[in-house]
């Protein structure tokens, strides 16, 4: 039996650790032949753009951020709507004698696992499909946390602590405010993680705005004024998906034909509001791709978990557990202990795991102690990244694609 591995959605600092886990685990099984990797996720499978991973250096892959095999954003349609897509998908699987699919992605990727598994059963095709979770947003249900989140959280908390030192040093009589917007889409996990930078109420961030709490302009401005009057400056974290009282995002960048919303600008809007209403000097920053690509500052816990869900995915597949996701289960906070279990992909696909209200302060403007206790172990541990000429030595995939066995495929318009 051959396996196929693919990466999907926004990549992370540790998604390649999951790839390494898959490849290493598969190499230990004599019943597994080749491990193929699709270029650009499911699109690579449909295009028959496949790599043979036999020559991949998994030790080097562990320390490389981004998606070594390329990723994509593609929602697999239902088989009833586009049967030709499924015909093509299974034609490629059959041509390469692939009996196991490991799809590394977020909520939508778990929906793909469900659809492919159901189609395989209907067709009588011998395929085991397993989801391998990842997302910096930390919003996959069924898993205590998501690989990719811990490293992004570590980077953002570090950035906020360092920015706080800068703003505090430059504070003058007129007051100064720094606003940092972070990713997360409709949930506030990444925003919440920046709270770890503050060891006391006087340290940045002084305010954390999350989508789980409707933005109250007056309460927010009052808190900014209080902090500036006490310290001379204020640092604010804003989640990109911050919502107003009407439940709509404070800012949107664009919306495509399928309704996908590109968020962004909430932090800039909050900074503008501070300047107009309070008159403080203000700066706005958006780390954008940097927060999910910072392989130089991985969380050791995060990389270990990313590798573990990849390896566990292979074991679940070999055990015949079809249509499941390899999920992280927290066993204790202190000491922090966890393991990997199987959850049914159908039970969690396309759901969003929001920050629990108990993890948010009573006033909705910061993170509670319970939230800090949840977050802290996820950023633990540092990794010495190999460098050349003073810069991280990333592993670059330069293998040729497998020769095509089938005619080109073109989807109908």
What secondary structure letter does DSSP report for 334?
A: T
**What residues does 255 pair with on adjacent strands?**
261
**Residue 101 · residue 4 · CB < 8 Å:** yes
Residue 366: both structure tokens together: 């910061």
Sign of CA dihedral 107, 109, 110, 114: positive
Q: Catalytic annotation on 362?
A: no
Question: What's the rounded Cα separation, in Å, for the pair 118 and 116?
Answer: 5
H/E run at residue 150: helix 149-169
Distance of CA 121 to the CA centre of its chain: 30
Q: In sequence order, what are the residues at sequence separation of 6 or more whose Cβ sits closer than 8 angstroms to the Cβ of residue 92? A: 45, 46, 48, 50, 98, 406
**Residue 310 · residue 19 · CB < 8 Å:** yes
Beta-strand relationship, 233-239 and 176-182: parallel
Q: Which of 24, 47, 111, 137 is flagged as catalytic? A: 137
For residue 341, the SS3 value is strand
Question: What's the rounded Cα separation, in Å, for the pair 102 and 282?
Answer: 46
Residue 31: both structure tokens together: 């019943």
- Active-site residue numbers? 137
């Amino acid at each position: 039996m051959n396996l196929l591995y693919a990466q999907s959605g926004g990549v992370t600092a540790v998604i390649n650790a999951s790839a390494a886990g898959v490849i290493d685990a598969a190499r230990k099984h004599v019943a597994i032949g080749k491990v193929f990797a699709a270029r650009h996720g499911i699109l690579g499978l449909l295009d028959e753009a496949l790599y043979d991973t036999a020559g991949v250096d998994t030790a080097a892959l562990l320390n490389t951020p981004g998606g070594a095999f390329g990723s994509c954003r593609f929602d697999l349609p239902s088989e009833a709507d586009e049967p030709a897509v499924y015909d093509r998908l299974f034609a490629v699987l059959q041509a390469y004698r692939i009996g196991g699919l490991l799809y590394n992605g977020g909520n939508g990727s778990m929906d793909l696992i469900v659809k492919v598994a159901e189609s395989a059963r209907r067709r009588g095709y011998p395929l085991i499909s397993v989801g391998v979770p990842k997302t910096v947003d930390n919003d996959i249900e069924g898993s205590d946390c998501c690989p990719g989140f811990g490293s992004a959280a570590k980077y953002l908390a570090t950035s906020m602590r360092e920015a706080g030192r800068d703003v505090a040093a430059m504070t003058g009589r007129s007051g100064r405010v720094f606003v940092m917007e972070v990713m997360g889409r409709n949930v506030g996990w990444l925003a919440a993680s920046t709270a770890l930078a503050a060891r006391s109420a006087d340290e940045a961030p002084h305010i954390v705005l999350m989508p789980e709490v409707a933005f109250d302009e007056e309460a927010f401005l009052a808190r900014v004024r209080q902090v500036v009057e006490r310290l001379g400056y204020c640092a604010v974290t804003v989640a990109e998906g911050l919502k107003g009282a009407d439940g709509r995002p404070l800012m949107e960048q664009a919306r495509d034909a399928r309704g996908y919303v590109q968020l962004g600008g909430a932090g800039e809007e909050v900074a503008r509001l501070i300047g107009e209403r309070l008159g403080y000097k203000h700066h706005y920053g958006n780390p954008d791709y940097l927060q999910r690509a910072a392989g130089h500052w991985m969380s050791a816990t995060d990389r270990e978990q990313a590798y573990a869900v990849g390896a566990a995915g292979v074991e679940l597949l070999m055990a015949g557990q079809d249509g499941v996701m390899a999920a992280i289960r927290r066993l204790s906070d202190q000491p922090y202990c966890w393991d990997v279990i199987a959850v049914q992909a159908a039970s969690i696909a396309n759901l969003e795991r929001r920050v629990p209200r108990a993890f948010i302060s009573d006033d909705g403007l910061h993170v509670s102690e319970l939230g800090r206790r949840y977050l802290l172990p996820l950023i633990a541990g540092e990794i010495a990244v190999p460098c050349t000429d003073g810069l991280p030595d990333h592993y670059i995939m330069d293998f040729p694609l497998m020769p095509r066995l089938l005619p080109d495929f073109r989807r109908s318009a």
